[in-house]
Amino acid sequence: MSQFLIVCGGTGGHLAPGIAVAEGLLKRGHSCRLVISRKEVDSRLIRDYPHLEYLRAPGRGYGGGVAGVLASGFDLLRGIIFAWLLFKKEQPERILAFGGFLSLGMVMVARLYRIPVALHEANNRPGRVIRWVRKMADRVYMPPRVRMHGVAMERVRHFGYPVREGVRCVSQSEARESLSIDVDRRLLVVVGGSQGAEALNIWVDKHFAELANVGITVYCVTGASKEREPIRRAQSREGHNVYCYSVGFSGEMGALLSAADLVISRAGAGAIAELIRCCVPGILVPYPHASDDHQLANAREHERLGAALVVEQKRLHELLAEVQELIFNDWLLNRFKENLRAMDELDATRAIVDDLEAITANAGASSEISTAESSL
């Protein structure tokens, strides 16, 4: 069996698909280790997967200004040294990198050691690191219909985003029961990505009473450092108790999304992939400071496919009206769900694992042929 190294730390959007692929490879009998960052977001997510082996690598995101550039350069050097020592000690047969600040040094050193590299780009607008190292890869996985300059099409596979096995669609009643959610009329779930979104948390604080007035229960994933009171209560105009549940982090995203009638979410590739997997309509509020504005590109594509609405953060004053109109519009919600079901036809995890096995086996066969020819 083959040995794989998956570089996927730094954000939940990088780590979660790395976990999905790692579990797929392990099920096929391969050896696999993750390279993650030292950030708290990685620590929170990886602790739910004690069976996965991982290494923590140095590094941080790329900052602006002279100080930010110098700090990024120093961290890149540390990452290169870390990768050099790792590959000197052991050589995996293939590296799969998901972008982000950990990938740059690891991919550069992998090529020096002639270790084959595969890249995964999750967003509709490719990130900086993936663009920088794209010519070092012999395989690039990208979302459907996305192209990247300088990458020959024979090296590209449009497989989409691998979703963790634990994130799956269950019946709405089962999901609500498992989470002990008391719903009056409709349930609105608000999630701000792996680190939370304070703008969405503030929006919930401001408008919960108005949402409760029309019977909308709220469940808000605030982010680990942005916790609110766990349960707040208001009354509907009919006099019923309506609740707002708040948690810093949820390890049960499949159940939470399945429980919802509507989700307000950031527009990271992972968040959108989980909405598709759980077949739940959404209103996407892209993070306005995302690099290359990739969240807006993701959101617009998801909206174009008829699976969500987009409300930019500068238009948050319009979000309440959009929620109140959409969450009770069963006809439109069902249209969104039909489109979501059509988008979830390809199992990206299986497709990537199949492809990694195939290209690794082909590379091994070519190496054996070359060795045999050289001995003649």
Domain co-membership, 270 together with 146:
no
Asked if residue 142 and residue 69 are part of one domain, the reply reads yes
Q: Are residues 293 and 256 in the same domain?
A: yes
The verdict on 44 and 193 lying in the same domain is no
Domain co-membership, 131 together with 197: no
Kind and range of the H or E run holding 284: strand 282-284
For residues 250 and 362, membership in a common domain is answered with: no
Residues 220, 295 share a domain: yes
Give yes or no: residues 110 and 249 share one domain: no
Q: Helix or strand or coil: residue 219?
A: strand
Same domain, 124 and 149: yes
CATH of the domain at 214: 3.40.50.2000
Domain co-membership, 161 together with 177:
no
Q: How many C-beta neighbours within 10 Å does residue 45 have?
A: 21
- Strand 94-97 relative to strand 117-120, pairing: parallel
Task: Render the burial of 54-75: b for 16+ CB within 10 Å, e for the rest.
Answer: bebbbbbebeeeeeeeeebeeb
Domain count, the chain: 2
Q: Does 179 share its domain with 302? A: yes
245 shares a domain with 195: yes
pLDDT (tens place) for every residue of the chain, 376 residues total: 789 999 998 888 899 999 999 999 999 999 999 999 988 888 888 998 999 999 999 876 666 667 767 777 788 888 899 999 999 888 888 999 999 888 999 999 999 999 999 999 999 888 889 999 999 999 999 998 888 988 889 999 999 899 998 888 999 999 999 999 999 999 999 998 766 688 999 999 999 999 999 999 999 998 877 777 889 999 999 999 999 999 988 888 999 999 999 999 999 999 999 999 999 999 999 999 888 889 999 999 999 999 999 999 999 999 999 999 999 999 999 999 999 999 987 889 999 999 999 988 776 555 444 443 344 4
Which tokens in the block code for residue 353?
A: 């694992």
The domain containing residue 135 runs over which residues?
Answer: 3-165+347-375
d(Cα 246, Cα 179) in Å, to the nearest integer? 12
Q: What angle do CA 170, 171, 173 make, to 5 degrees?
A: 130
DSSP class of residue 102 equals T
